[in-house]
Amino acid sequence: MSEPPTNPLHAASPWQAFAHRVLFDYPPPARRAWLLITAAGAAALVWAAWELMTTPQTGSVPLGLALALVAVASSLSIPLPRSSYSLSIGDVFVFGVLVTLGPAAAVLASGIDALAGTLRISKRLSSRLATPAASMAAMAVCAAAFEVARRLLVGQGLGVEAATVAALALVSLVPFALSLTMLMAMTSLKRGEPLVPARWLLDSSWMAAIYVASALIAGLVHLQSQRFGGTPLLVSALSAIVIMLLLRMAVLRQEAERQRQDAELSQAQRDALLSHQRFEAAFSHAAIGMVVVRPDGRMLQVNDAFCELLQRERDELLEQPFEALLSPSELPLLQDRAQAARLSHDDAFTTEIQVTRRDGQTRWVAVHCSRYEDPDGGGPCLIFQWHDVTSRHLAESRLSHIAYHDDLTGLANRHGFHERLKAAAECARHEPQRGFAVLYLDLDRFKLVNDSLGHGAGNELLREVAARLRGVVRPGDLVARLGGDEFAILVDMPGELQAPLQLARRVIEELSRPAVLLATEVVPGVSIGVTASDVGNRSADEIMRDADLAMYEAKAAGRGRVVRFDRSMHDKVAEKLALETDLRRAIAQGQLAVQYQPIYQLEPRRLAGFEALARWQHPQRGAISPAVFIALAEESGCIEALTDWVIDQSMAQLVRWQSGRSDLQHLGMHVNICSRDLARVSLAPHVRQVLQRHQAAPGSLTLELTETVLMGRLESALRTMDSLRAGGVRFSVDDFGTGYSSLSYLARLPINSLKIDRSFVAALHEGRQSLEIVRAMLTLGRALGHKVIAEGIETPAQLATLRQLGVHEGQGYLLGRPMDAGAVTALLEVADAGERDASGMRP
């Protein structure tokens, strides 16, 4: 609504002041029209008031009641939905006043009705004055016309009641037409629009119908009142007001509900618009490629990232078949899954495919597909999201190669071999004719090469072995390095086991050829265990286990052999495990025994000490060979406990023998230890604690080690040996001459004695070569300041030769077999008695 100017000029007259304040937005023609309408209404009002005051027929009470009812009925209008108009029964009451109380009362009623309606829709004083004025002026004309028409109709012979109703119907459009024309003309002048009365009347024809209906209703009610009196008229009026009130309440409630629904709909539409805008923004500016595909398979919409990924223009892609972007190998699976996704929201899927760009480059793409309803009603579309994952695939390929291949040799590793083996086992389970075999390889004496020539040479040997294995196998066979010096070959075996066995023999032959490492010739050598799928359904782990068992049987049989797995090996393993359990229990409960083999000084012959040898008398199995249970102890990890026990038992026994015998204080005790013993940090503290607890003489304990043990862990061996030597412990190299000794190593180690291996002693008289070897060993020992001890002396000739060569000490069955502590005690007593007898015979 327009507002008056904030700084009005002082008006020259009251009219100009009023016009400036109230009619500020009315141009002069519109002001004049407003003034004419208001003047006409005022004249009608004055006339009506004069008529009512001067006409005694109309009582004040009926008039007041009638005007009150008009005011109530007019204020109870029913707003028409989705329009600025409202429906009121005020016109019915106005026409009723006209036929009941006369023209003057009708003019007042019309003004009240128009004022009530104007108060609802406008706050302008100009409208609140002009609208009632136009209504009263129009009703004055209508009332006059009504009186003339009724008299004419009565004069034509109609009854008064019929003439009244007919006249009322005839003049019912007069107030509508006059008031509408006056007000619309004023409005048009105000807006500067042309005057078109015919159009105004046609556009408001529905209001004309209401006026006619209101006049007819009023006439009918008037007839009823003429027949039955005024009470029905009053009751009808009140009933109509009540009905209007109820209808108004219902319509207002419905309108409120409609407005609420419209608000929700508007909000939903706004949300949908925002969602669409967000989707458009997300679609267009997404970093990943996106494409919408119609039900007919053609691309409806693509974004910039999608075009960039394929290096294509948008126009090249739109309306083109989406399937044209896919390779023939990818198409069938993607078609099936896309069709499932189109039929159901729950069948969205993600996969990875390869696509070719314009430049011919192949890219890996992660594709996510889901259903998308076309807002235009085109049916269920599919929206594809493409994300370039080529870099990830390349990284995964590198990682996969690392995960499944051995860095040193380039062969498959244990994990890669296991995966292929699982696949082969599964295939053989469903198709038994597609058999396979596994060759499990372990290099013979590889550790010796590593220890003597170093890890670099060992690695070079592993690479050489890998190259030779590649050259031996067929193209479809898989060669793998399982770790360390263990290899495996997976062989397709369509027929019998002869082919894998022949391959195994070719491998042994190939690895029997020497390899030159650091100017040293080394023969790799290999032991092979073989198992095949014809043994029965087994898992990959079980197959590897069985091949490993066969390989250990090959090693036990003398190395450089091929052994085929059979189920009896499981029994051997079970027996071995049971024996291992018994051994642990025997060590823990002290069920083992120690025997002592004498060591003699050869010239002059004199008892120099003993070598402590562990013995095991199993309660069910009888005597167990030391070669069996000591190897088992090393393999199972209980050798350390066995070594500690032997040292403690033997030193305790030596001290008991020496107790009270000054002539036995020179005796020493030799105890064998292995590489695991030398590597552990607890060995030195344990030995010192044993020597201190038993109060053993310094230098009475000698620990014997092999050359391989010493050279395999030289630095750690030196630390442990230095710590033990500080406590008075001596060291001897056992089986000297059978390993790859280094003179520099022997010079660095704190060695006290060398024990010549029994194999050289046994061959002393079989050829001059063995004699010279022993002579060289003796010369080397003397040069290094080491005592030399000969093992395995079994004949008088061997003893005589060793004495002649100058060997310091010796042991063997000729000099004394291993015996228990009681036998040694008896031996010492006999030796003591002999010495006493000899001393008694002296002069």
**Residue 369 contacts residue 348 (beta carbons within 8 Å):** yes
Collect all residues with Cβ–Cβ distance below 8 Å to 622 and sequence separation of at least 6. Answer: none
Distance CA 269, CA 265 (A): 6
- DSSP string of 402-464, one letter each residue: HHHB-TTT-SB-HHHHHHHHHHHHHHHHH-TTSEEEEEEEEETTHHHHHHHH-HHHHHHHHHH
Q: Give 718: exposed, middle or buried? Use CB within 10 Å, 0-12, 13-18, 19+.
A: middle
Distance CA 592, CA 572 (A): 23
- DSSP string of 478-503, one letter each residue: EEEEEETTEEEEEEEESS-THHHHHH
Q: What is the pLDDT of residue 11?
A: 46
Distance CA 673, CA 650 (A): 13
Distance CA 559, CA 486 (A): 14
Handedness of CA 628, 630, 635, 637 (dihedral sign): positive
Q: What is the pLDDT of residue 490?
A: 92
Dump strand ranges (E) for 536-619.
562-564, 593-602, 605-618
Is residue 248 helix, strand or coil? helix
CATH superfamily, domain 610-838, is: EAL domain (3.20.20.450)
Dump strand ranges (E) for 450-592.
478-483, 486-493, 515-517, 520-522, 526-532, 562-564
Angle of helix 639-658 relative to helix 626-636, nearest 10 degrees? Answer: 130
Cα 384–Cα 387–Cα 389 angle in degrees, nearest 5? 140
pLDDT tens digit string along 687-725?
999 999 999 888 899 999 876 666 556 677 788 888 889
CATH architecture of 286-395: 2-Layer Sandwich (3.30)
Q: What is the pLDDT of residue 834?
A: 55
Q: Alpha carbon 145 to chain centroid distance? A: 91
Distance CA 828, CA 656 (A): 12
**Residue 488 contacts residue 438 (beta carbons within 8 Å):** yes
If you search the block for the tokens 């030596």, which residue do you land on? 654
Write out 137-185 in H/E/C secondary structure. HHHHHHHHHHHHHHHHHHHCCCCHHHHHHHHHHHHCHHHHHHHHHHHHH
Q: What is the CATH number of domain 410-566?
A: 3.30.70.270
Of the chain, the end-to-end C-alpha distance in Å amounts to 159
- Given a cut of 70, the residues of the chain with pLDDT beneath it are 1-12, 56-59, 77-89, 206, 224-252, 254-255, 272, 276-277, 279, 282, 345, 375-378, 400, 494-497, 536, 570-571, 573, 707-714, 737-747, 831-843
Give me the amino acid identity at 712. Answer: G
Instruction: Output DSSP code: residue 297.
Output: S
Distance CA 183, CA 449 (A): 121
CATH 3.30.450.20 domain position(s) in the chain: 286-395
Q: What is the pLDDT of residue 78?
A: 60
Q: What is the pLDDT of residue 281?
A: 72
Distance CA 667, CA 824 (A): 12
CATH 3.20.20.450 domain position(s) in the chain: 610-838
14-247, CATH topology level: Arp2/3 complex 21 kDa subunit ARPC3 (1.10.1760)
Q: Kindly give the pairing relationship between strand 362-373 and strand 380-388.
A: antiparallel
Distance CA 458, CA 168 (A): 128
CATH 1.10.1760.20 domain position(s) in the chain: 14-247
Give me the amino acid identity at 33. Answer: A
Give me the amino acid identity at 540. Answer: A
